[in-house]
Structure 1
Amino acid sequence: MESFLLGALNPIAFTLGPIEVHWYGIIIASAVVLAVYFSVREGKRRGIIEDDVYDMLLWALPFSIVSARAYYVIFQWSYYSRHLNEIYRIWDGGIAIYGALIGALITVVVFCRKRMIPPMLMLDVIAPTVIMAQGIGRWGNFMNQEAYGAVTSLAFLQKLYIPSFIIQQMNIQGAYRQPTFLYESIWDLAGFVLLLCLRRREHLFKRGEVFFSYVLWYAFGRFFIEQMRTDSLMLGALRVSQWLSLFLFVGAIAVWILRRYWKPLEPWYVEGITKFDK
């Protein structure tokens, strides 16, 4: 029981003079590096050259960060309208993953069109690594004590058989909270493993369908996990992210079915770039 007497973990990893380096930033940066590494390896197998992946990242990363912060600020405008000087402070947390995904998706499509790379193939290549990065990135929320759920009891958390340092970090403002960051991290990493196991199977995924599988998996899990969170913006009977998850889930299924009907000759994912793409 002594471990439960410890305080919350320090969100600041170290300082360089007046600069504070937060664990949040370190974790997010580490997730991005791993995602790029795995994307480059898979891209080579599908005929996408390494430099194209790096160049895409140089465009997608800043746009996704800006759109992620903009999404969060827009839906928290009642607060930020009174604290304009905090809008840019992303190292304190407060970036919305759906905002990042929207910004990254637009950037990838535009970039691929200009480089004459099939956009859906690029999305297939990076989709598993994106959900991996999302799973790792949730630990940045953990360090900042955010993205948590409703009040619960110490006994409930102990029954989950999770490490004591996670339980203690979920003691927020004098009450234990549901570790929804952990639920989503596990769900995302499970999706990453599943996509890795399935995506290279012959005659399973047409081009674009690895990406649709990612959307379906993430949206399904996020819909239910979001219900447990207490820091989400409501829109009618559901939270904003739940509405978006529902839209993406239904939309991905619809597009998947329609593409199979309208484009029966679409290449298989494992074929990579074909002579018809050149």
Structure 2
Amino acid sequence: MTIGIDPFIFRDPIVLSWHGFFTFVGVGIAIYLIDRWSSKEEIDSDVIYSVALWVIIGGILGARLVHVIDRWDYYQDNMSHIYQVWRGGIAIYGALIFGTLSGLSNIYIRKHLGLVYAGQKQTWLKNLVGEKIAKGYLQGSMYAKFKDLSTGRLLDLVAPAMAIGQTFGRLGDVINGEHISSKTDLAWGVIYSHPDSGSFTFHGLNPSHPVIIYEMLLTAFAFIVLWNLRGRLGPPGMIFITYGIIYAIGRFFIQFMRLDSVWFAGLQEAHLISLLLLTICVPILALRATWTSRSN
């Protein structure tokens, strides 16, 4: 398969790549699905969009940060390029991890600091912004909508939507050819013929593994598994944890076909993050399954 499409949709007056366009599409699909499914869980749309805003901001910053760390050998001599996201270079792991942490932070602030304020005369937020503003923020309509929110149930909606969003969002990476992979003689090897493609710069007209297509198949498979686990895997939050396990295992093996910077013992950054996720997620799933079994 040969792909000769220009990685950029247009370059003037602003720069827009296929990667950026489909990332926007993937995020939009994920938010739409979460909002649609949330009504069945009695989660207000305002909650979804409030959390989504934090997830997007945290995801963008995290994706760039993890990429810069991985390519520090380049960025330490080109510091001004760190902020030039349009040049390309984000890490999906950074988006997933920091986006999740950012969204959870929003929920924590809305719920727990609001509960503290409701039960005490003073909180750090009251002292910081004043009683009137704090009271309006914490006891207004948004506070009421967050107060009884089940974070686990929300995460279980996020997981399958995120899998679908990633699947479509990666289409831009397939077109751009910016993720360099090892050469292959297999029939499904892909050749990037456009001179602005990163793969062409590295491999010329030699075929390489379509690692992003492999990852799209992984996330599509994860969606099928998660969708069939709805209502069958408890307690709340375990579907999200299961997605973390499936993605980490698949990404660990796919990563061996990518030519990213080696960090330790022949392993790349994504390998180490995958192992870290598995170290966290597998025990959580096992312990929660044990507790649920004992409770029953």
Cα 1:223/1:148, change in 2 over 3 Å: same
Q: Which residue of 2 aligns with 1:276?
A: none
Counterparts of residues 1-278 of structure 1 (less than 5 Å) = 8-15=4-11, 17-113=12-108, 114=110, 115-116=146-147, 117-153=149-185, 156=186, 159-160=187-188, 167-168=191-192, 172-200=203-231, 203-262=232-291
Q: What is the deviation of 1:136?
A: 2.1
Q: What is the deviation of 1:167?
A: 4.2
So what's the TM-score if we normalise by structure 2? 0.77
Contact 1:148/1:181, CA 8 A, preserved across alignment: no
SS at 1:129 equivalent? helix
Q: Which residue of 1 aligns with 2:140?
A: none
Q: What is the deviation of 1:32?
A: 0.7
Q: What is the deviation of 1:95?
A: 0.7
Q: Deviation per CA, 1:164-191: give whole Å up to 9, x if none.
A: xx54466543322111111111111121
Q: What CA distance in whole angstroms lies between the structure 1 residues aligned with 2:273 and 2:16?
A: 33
Contact 1:226/1:242, CA 8 A, preserved across alignment: yes
Q: State the identity %.
A: 31
Q: What CA distance in whole angstroms lies between the structure 2 residues aligned with 1:215 and 1:109?
A: 16
Q: What CA distance in whole angstroms lies between the structure 1 residues aligned with 2:256 and 2:218?
A: 15
Q: What CA distance in whole angstroms lies between the structure 2 residues aligned with 1:11 and 1:67?
A: 23
SS at 1:13 equivalent? strand
Q: Deviation per CA, 1:1-39: give whole Å up to 9, x if none.
A: xx85xx721011135x52232211110000011001100
Contact 2:191/2:206, CA 8 A, preserved across alignment: no
Q: What is the deviation of 1:264?
A: 6.4
Q: Which residue of 2 aligns with 1:269?
A: none
Q: What CA distance in whole angstroms lies between the structure 2 residues aligned with 1:234 and 1:139?
A: 28
Q: What CA distance in whole angstroms lies between the structure 1 residues aligned with 2:28 and 2:56?
A: 11
Contact 2:180/2:258, CA 8 A, preserved across alignment: yes
Q: What CA distance in whole angstroms lies between the structure 1 residues aligned with 2:246 and 2:99?
A: 18
Q: What is the deviation of 1:263?
A: 6.1
Structure 1 unaligned residues grouped into runs of 5+: 267-278
SS at 2:170 equivalent? helix
**Computing the radius of gyration over CA atoms, which structure comes out larger, 1 or 2?**
2
Moved more, 81-90 or 168-177: 168-177
The letter of the residue matching 1:228 is M
CA-atom RMSD, angstroms?
2.4
SS at 2:15 equivalent? strand
Contact 2:164/2:219, CA 8 A, preserved across alignment: yes
Cα 1:120/1:78, change in 2 over 3 Å: same
Structure 2 unaligned residues grouped into runs of 5+: 111-145, 194-198
Q: What CA distance in whole angstroms lies between the structure 1 residues aligned with 2:224 and 2:288?
A: 25
Cα 1:265/1:119, change in 2 over 3 Å: farther
The letter of the residue matching 1:30 is V
So what's the TM-score if we normalise by structure 1? 0.82
Q: What is the deviation of 1:258?
A: 1.6
Cα 1:179/1:11, change in 2 over 3 Å: same
Q: Which residue of 1 aligns with 2:130?
A: none
Q: Deviation per CA, 1:42-83: give whole Å up to 9, x if none.
A: 111112111110111111101110111011112211101111
Contact 1:226/1:232, CA 8 A, preserved across alignment: no
SS at 1:183 equivalent? helix
